[in-house]
Amino acid sequence: MILEPFLASLHIVAILAMVVFSSSQAALCREEWLNAAVVRRLLRLDWIFLTAVALLLLSGVARVVWGIKGWQWYVGQPLFHVKMTLVLLTLLIVTRPSLAIRRWVRTLEASGALPGAQEINRVRRAIMLHTHVMPVIAVVAVFWARGW
């Protein structure tokens, strides 16, 4: 009986953490602010963000498998499929900045070089894109929860 609210709470905490740490990355990933300390901080934020993504996915799968409604109910809902498509899209978008930030740290440690303005802007755009897709997922979830 306590499993459902526990899983729902974990899911919400993961969503909030994703929003906070993704927004933090977007705020810091600016050409005029980027220095060695910020590059390392971006990597730390990315690890926290990816941990939140893992928690979100695990709690979501647990809700589908062990939740009160059962997996048959979930897969029968059209908005569930819309939500999952948007989640997959977000995961694909997240891959680019995550890999780029790791590359930046390796380059920084090897040569002390920071990324160029074009690369920084490209990564920032990708971060901003997935940060803007996340609320759409939440809107779909709200409509779905209200029986659409």
User: How many distinct structural domains can be found in the chain?
Assistant: 1
Residue 68 is classified by DSSP as S
Q: Are the CB atoms for 30 and 125 separated by under 8 Å?
A: no
Q: Which domain holds residue 52?
A: 3-145
**What is the rounded distance in angstroms from the CA atom of residue 84 to the CA atom of residue 79?**
8
**What is the rounded distance in angstroms from the CA atom of residue 59 to the CA atom of residue 34?**
34
Q: Which of 22, 12, 4 is nearest to 131 (CA)?
A: 22
User: What pLDDT was estimated at residue 148?
Assistant: 79
Break the chain down into helix, strand, coil percent, rounded to 5: 85, 0, 15
**Tens digits of per-residue pLDDT, 109-131?**
999 999 999 999 999 999 999 99
User: What pLDDT was estimated at residue 15?
Assistant: 93
Residue 1 is classified by DSSP as -
**What is the rounded distance in angstroms from the CA atom of residue 91 to the CA atom of residue 114?**
26
User: What pLDDT was estimated at residue 71?
Assistant: 86
Is residue 73 helix, strand or coil?
helix
**Tens digits of per-residue pLDDT, 63-99?**
989 988 888 888 888 999 999 999 999 999 999 999 9
Cα distances (angstroms) measured from residue 19 to each of 2, 67, 87: 26, 25, 14
